[in-house]
Chains A and B, each alone.
Chain A
């Protein structure tokens, strides 16, 4: 079956612009996670959704970052007034449940964001 998909695969923008990154989780997965990964580092947790609600958004770095998942499936990560430090690979992952048992997270290919 289809895995997690993310669009666009690459995004180049200018400092100060607004961007939206999209994540399509595996069908039937109720949990969805956003991470960002800089070169040579592990994924950094941003936000986690259980269904439509953000169950934990403690990783969002500031109020320029916002994410939604209005119908409990597709999610959009929104970044306002982008800064050069926002440049990273943004990874989305989904899992079948919300933390019980193995709760394996399946990652998408990521969106590489470059802020000039």
Chain B
């Protein structure tokens, strides 16, 4: 079956670092995406991993371990505007390009 798990909610303090974990079980694998979604808005792309290792982009980094079916999103120097839902998504890749999304992790950044 297809399953993506991530924590429902997290709270962190402005200026701190937070790590949002994602584990997945999918029929196939052709890349893992992280999206940010503010309340009432569309998801926006943050990062993409297809090979094992860490991808860094400014304050955001994403890590992938395909053998463990595991990824994390690392947010540094948290700002209040980072309060949003963070969606982990896996592109299946088995004969198609269906993308399976997790339920999202709601991050609350407090002063």
- Chain A residues in the interface with B (C-beta under 8 A): 31, 33, 35, 40-45, 48, 55-56, 58-59, 91, 98-99, 102-110
Interface size class of B (residues with CB under 8 A): 20 to 34
Contact between A48 and B96, CB atoms less than 8 A apart: yes
Q: Which of B11-19, B75-83, B100-108 lies at the binding interface?
A: B100-108
Residue B25 interfacial (CB < 8 Å): no
- Chain B residues in the interface with A (C-beta under 8 A): 4, 30-31, 33, 41-45, 48, 87, 89, 91, 93, 96-104
Contact between A106 and B45, CB atoms less than 8 A apart: yes
Contact between B45 and A103, CB atoms less than 8 A apart: no
Contact between A107 and B42, CB atoms less than 8 A apart: yes
Contact between A42 and B87, CB atoms less than 8 A apart: yes
Main secondary structure of the interface of A (DSSP, over half): loop
> Measured between C-beta atoms, what is the minimum distance from B101 to chain A in Å?
3
Contact between B99 and A33, CB atoms less than 8 A apart: yes
